[in-house]
Structure 1
């Protein structure tokens, strides 16, 4: 009984000694968390007015909020009397181990920050990365999501984006379609050029500025290779490409433009 009474007395003494500190630490946590929530909301509004990416704002505000709350927890623990030096040493060791385990993810994370800050591309841009072509659907912290013209979703790690050459087809607002058609040596190039140019200018989605280009690209053993270069908005690329080929074929047929067949180098009429 004497031991129990001694334990109760010691417990009461500790409770009386620590109760004010615990109450103060709780008050610091409550007030501190309230202030951090208000600060993060103000920070989000400031970043939005500054024009930062909407994909980056939630991450930065969350990171700032967590960091400040961790500092407040450390301060509250110090008020109670917790030895912070040993606690921080254990936390640092754990962080080092986690960092080694997540080395690849951390590199993708750092690359994601670089992409969101410097904006080599944005959502809805058509880009090519490491021979992978598609439209940017979402820029995440660790990955970039792209959709190919065939409606396949590509999930590309951001570190791979930063380490490779990125071709942005949407940066200038237009893109050139590079096509080739053939004409016989006996045919007049100015006539063929005029026929092709008329077809290009009749397609509504072909841009007038920059103007379409038609020129002789090469001479092969059977025919002249003609380069056809209309400019379009990136979203219209495939539609216009197919339409240009369709209209040129129909125009060659209606104007009796011949083509050369590789077998025997005979001239033949092009079908409708």
Structure 2
């Protein structure tokens, strides 16, 4: 098959004519695209600065700024293709169908996204809080859209999906200003209960990290077959809790040794049945 020179010339002429006629739309569309991208970046930075100046939570700031960024980008893209002369109604219908298909295939991810929004809005915990959830006791280092990043005491990183995290039980150890340590000492029946209680109270009162309001408590918790159990309840600020817990154990043991009070070892009780 051969092409005549006249056909090629007509085709080239038509192409150049259409290009010249279409070039204003093309140029204006790309101008809108580039200017829009610059304006979106500028707006995003401005919104972030405003939210930071208003002392908004950093996690919420990043989340809202990211959502705004992608919404503006989608609107800019629709404007861009509309300026090129492409029908946006059919394009929006295609996007809707694609969104439905993607939504059905990513139900778990959407659940995690919704969980992330609930966590950010209702704030059961913040970055830096010590929490216990899904069998993990760790510090929150980052709240992302789909997962929450935790760091354990032995420096391991744990990622928990926001869906199950927002629907599960969360214990927040950092939400209150101070915590109570629940300790139990088992002493022998030969020991003087009042003397043991006085020694424990002396240890607690001599520790500057132990709060006096609320007051620490020492009382008989239980009388078992093998020991007298004393409950020790000191209060401490969150940052001093670990130190108060360990120092109370160590100092009470030393005081008991000096006073001759015997700590009764744990004895497991068995129930015998006869047949």
Q: TM-score surpassing 0.5? A: yes
| Cα deviation, residue 82, structure 1 | 0.8
The within-5 A match list for 1:82-231 is 82-231=86-235
Partners of 2:99 and 2:266 lie apart in 1 by 68
User: Could you say what secondary structure the match of 1:218 adopts?
Assistant: strand
| Cα deviation, residue 217, structure 1 | 0.7
Contact 2:148–2:161 (CA<8 Å) still a contact in 1?
yes
The alignment status of 1:233 with 2:237, answered yes or no, reads: yes
User: RMSD over aligned Cα, in angstroms?
Assistant: 2.2
| Cα deviation, residue 262, structure 1 | 7.7
In 2 relative to 1, CA 14–260 (structure 1 residues): closer, same or farther, beyond 3 Å?
closer
Contact 2:185–2:263 (CA<8 Å) still a contact in 1?
no
After TM superposition, the score normalised by the length of structure 1 is: 0.87
1:68 is matched with 72
| Cα deviation, residue 181, structure 1 | 0.6
| Cα deviation, residue 39, structure 1 | 1.7
Contact 2:112–2:147 (CA<8 Å) still a contact in 1?
yes
Gaps of 5+ in 1: 264-272
The alignment status of 1:12 with 2:9, answered yes or no, reads: no
Contact 2:78–2:88 (CA<8 Å) still a contact in 1?
yes
Gaps of 5+ in 2: 268-275
1:246 is matched with 250
| Cα deviation, residue 186, structure 1 | 4.9
Partners of 1:144 and 1:154 lie apart in 2 by 8
User: Could you say what secondary structure the match of 1:135 adopts?
Assistant: strand
User: Could you say what secondary structure the match of 1:216 adopts?
Assistant: strand
Q: Deviations over 1:42-95 (max 9, x none)?
A: 211222233332133233223212221221222232222112222222222222
| Cα deviation, residue 249, structure 1 | 1.2
Contact 2:186–2:265 (CA<8 Å) still a contact in 1?
no
In 2 relative to 1, CA 150–70 (structure 1 residues): closer, same or farther, beyond 3 Å?
closer
In 2 relative to 1, CA 148–22 (structure 1 residues): closer, same or farther, beyond 3 Å?
closer
| Cα deviation, residue 194, structure 1 | 1.3
| Higher deviation after alignment, 19-28 or 213-222 | 19-28
Contact 1:53–1:117 (CA<8 Å) still a contact in 2?
no
| Cα deviation, residue 227, structure 1 | 0.1
Partners of 1:232 and 1:150 lie apart in 2 by 23
| Cα deviation, residue 260, structure 1 | 4.9
| Cα deviation, residue 218, structure 1 | 1.0
